[in-house]
Structure 1
Amino acid sequence: MQIIVDIGNSDAVFGLYSQATWQHIWRTPSRTDEPAGSYESRLRLWLLEAGISLSAIQTTVLSSVVPNLTPTMRSMLTTLFGFEPVVMGPGVYPILPLEILRPHEIGTDLVANALAAYTRYQRNCVVVDFGTALTFTTVSGAGKILGVAIAPGLKTAIRSLFANTAQLPEVPIEVPASALGTSTTHAIQAGVVLGYEGLVRSLLDRIRTELNGDCIAIATGGLSGSIPSLHAAFTAVIPSLTLDGIRIVGEIIGHDTR
């Protein structure tokens, strides 16, 4: 059994992988002010509720885009399971089957997305990750990360409006019935949610044009199902894709060291 940890700017995601499938996926807010013990208690409880003993965990792999949380999580996993986790970063990239653009700049989550998409499809592919940021990571069929586009995520855009305007409320991410908002809530949903549908379609069109039309698209991330009308633009919607990529890194590292 493996514990795979993806520390994002909004959430820390813990996946329990066994028998070629995700048995459990747990989420908790990413908080830099929480001690390692708080995360350890939460993970202990999740495993207890799942009926999994600590000794059953054979591998842990950590990806983090929150530098202040990385040592906390690394320490927690080492203390809990008695061995060091594999930690994604430039130090492990040379043994991955990817050519990585600017390895010290690109987020480990984007590398994980590219690795999972390349492993699964081995053709030109753009991974659209609907998270705190909306990211487009394009990987070639030869395993080269060709580039990334980044925009504020859906929740980030709505929260920015709420935080920086006096009269606009924070609203749920829902597709409105019309682009003609007849209330403040519907007006924001029309501008952000419907606007992001156009943003995604436009960027996918531009990426495909630059690759002469040879490029499939995969959606992932916690909000990947928020705009159902976009689903037809993707070959697949795979919420666990980032975790899959992190898990593959652990498997490659394990094979490399044996």
Structure 2
Amino acid sequence: MLLAVDAGNTNVVFALVAKREIVARWRIATDARRTADEYAVWLNQLLGLEGYSMADVNAVIIATVVPRALHNLTVLSTKYFKVEPLVAGSDAAPWGIVLDVPEPQTVGADRVVNAIAAHARHKTDLIVVDFGTATTFDVIDYNGAYKGGIIAAGINLSLDALVSAAAKLPRIAIEAPTDRSVIGRTTEDQMHIGVFWGYVAMMEGLVTRLRAEIGRPVKVIATGGLSVLFDAHSDVFDAIEPDLTIRGLSILYERSTARA
């Protein structure tokens, strides 16, 4: 089975994939100092809880936007799974799609992998919205080429900045306000309205502008942990695909091994 690893700025996601089907997934906070041995102890226990063992893994692919985390993840693969990992975007696992931007080397691995998966499932012009540490909006044309996009602060980052800069504002949870009124009666109500509906307005406004600039029929795909929450309060998305990045890694692994 394939172990697909998506190392983001906030979390590292490990997923066990068999024939493109995700059979198990686990998440741990990103810490570039975490050693291969620490990953191995944690993963060994979780694999066992799902009825698997390390011996069931015969391939590893890694996508990371945290360069310092790559070394320990590579050691994890070679030492504990006895395989040389494929690193998304490397010579052994090239993207296989056109990155039609002036500085293709600066595009985050997660964004390219999302583009690969989205185009494989939807053969049309696409906007992929990924709710992570940052919220990214990526444009993929009907040929599968990555055309560029938008980077905005994630909603948790926005809330953290607000609370840390305003001494009297309380910490609140990321959730939809209890009703649709945008006149808050308490400080917490006002914060919920500003953070949540403000974010929905930003998201819908940027998608509207992207649609207008593309000028052709476009599908909007959402991924990331908060996509389901926002989908319940907006009709801007055509599909919710929370496992888009892992599915893209699975596709990239298949293409790379076939090429080799």
Q: 1:216 aligns with which of 214, 219, 222?
A: 219
Q: Could you tell me which amino acid in structure 2 is paired with residue 77 of structure 1?
A: S
Q: CA deviation at 1:183?
A: 2.1
Provide Cα deviations, 1:100-121, integer angstroms capped at 9, x if missing partner: 5322100000001111111111
1:45-56 equivalences under 5 Å are: 45-56=45-56
CA contact (8 A) 1:127 1:219 kept: yes
Q: Which moved more, 1:92-101 or 1:56-65?
A: 92-101
The whole-number CA distance in structure 2 between the counterparts of 1:85 and 1:62 is 7
Normalised by the length of structure 2, the TM-score is 0.93
Unaligned runs of 5+ in 2: none
1:143-182 equivalences under 5 Å are: 143-176=144-177, 177=179, 178-182=181-185
Unaligned runs of 5+ in 1: none
Q: CA deviation at 1:3?
A: 0.7
CA contact (8 A) 1:173 1:226 kept: no
CA contact (8 A) 1:98 1:115 kept: no
The whole-number CA distance in structure 2 between the counterparts of 1:76 and 1:94 is 22
Q: Could you tell me which amino acid in structure 2 is paired with residue 21 of structure 1?
A: E
Q: Could you tell me which amino acid in structure 2 is paired with residue 241 of structure 1?
A: L
Provide Cα deviations, 1:50-95, integer angstroms capped at 9, x if missing partner: 1112222122110111111111111112211001111112535756
Q: Could you tell me which amino acid in structure 2 is paired with residue 250 of structure 1?
A: Y
CA contact (8 A) 1:90 1:103 kept: no
The whole-number CA distance in structure 2 between the counterparts of 1:134 and 1:227 is 12
* Shift in CA distance, 95/26, structure 1 to aligned 2, threshold 3 Å: closer
Q: CA deviation at 1:20?
A: 3.7
Paired positions, count:
257
SS in 1 for 2:60: strand
Q: Could you tell me which amino acid in structure 2 is paired with residue 198 of structure 1?
A: A
The whole-number CA distance in structure 1 between the counterparts of 2:100 and 2:86 is 19
Q: 2:206 aligns with which of 193, 203, 210?
A: 203
CA contact (8 A) 1:90 1:104 kept: no
The whole-number CA distance in structure 2 between the counterparts of 1:167 and 1:193 is 19
The whole-number CA distance in structure 2 between the counterparts of 1:154 and 1:8 is 16
The whole-number CA distance in structure 2 between the counterparts of 1:95 and 1:35 is 28
**Structure 2 residue 129 is matched with structure 1 residue 128:** yes
Normalised by the length of structure 1, the TM-score is 0.94
**Which residue is 2:41 aligned to?**
41
**Which residue is 1:246 aligned to?**
249
